[in-house]
Amino acid sequence: MIIAFEGIGGSGKTTQINMLANFLKSKGKTFIILKGGGTGGNTKELQNLKQKIDKSGDPKLTLLSKTIKLQINELEKAISKKFDYIILDRTYFTYLASAKSKGLELNEIFSSEMIENLKKFKPADKIFFLNIDPKNAHKFMKNKQTLSRGDLRATIEKDEAKNKAYLDIAQKNDWIIIDVENKDSIKDENSIHKEIISSIFSQT
């Protein structure tokens, strides 16, 4: 099973991935964690997607194409080792959310044919989107830089746009949306972990 996590910085992806890894280890399951804006999914589908991107000749897609090539290699290695679970720390949707948050529509980045291919392409068996208010996310970011008030405001505004874009993508692609916050506070990481575990094993 391939499981992916998406969300802005500070939403808790790394924490939840590590907690999931510890849980799987305790159950005697084998797994591997692939980090970066990878793509996941079936390697043949990835190869086809990469070829279509390469043929487009669009320089905007160069990074995505390189990412897909790296992920193909990583996935093939993982699949050959027959891990029970492959955990992805982000997918190519990271780039789509970034573009959307900057006001770019998909038809400004991809051809209509490519958009249809992306709609059909499922990067993982389950994708978790950790939804959080960027103002709170910044407080929990590890290795965060000290920003001036103006820079902090600008960073939060960018993350607000990206989180909104993520949420839109998540809703349209039937991701599992995990709200990291209650109305008045941040949820305990253990309760979030339980939600994730329940979802993963509810139909397995």
pLDDT digits (tens, 9 = 90+) for 152-198: 777 788 889 889 988 988 898 889 999 998 777 788 899 999 999 99
Q: Which residues pair with 33 in a beta bridge?
A: 87
The two structure tokens encoding residue 155: 């960073």
Output the pTM of the full model. 0.78
Query: What is the band of 93 on the pLDDT scale with cuts at 50, 70, 90?
Result: confident
Q: Which residues contact 43 (CB under 8 A, 6 or more apart)?
A: 72, 75, 76, 79
Angle at 138 between CA 132 and CA 139, to 5 degrees: 100
Q: Is the dihedral of CA 50, 128, 97, 159 positive or negative?
A: negative
Rounded Cα distance between 124 and 3, Å, is: 6
Task: Give the closest residue to 46 by CA, choosing from 65, 62, 59, 61.
Answer: 65
Look at residue 178 and give its three-state secondary structure.
Answer: strand
Mean pLDDT of 111-134: 75
CATH number of 2-201: 3.40.50.300
> 10: how many CB neighbours lie within 10 A of its CB?
22
3-class DSSP state for residue 2? Answer: strand
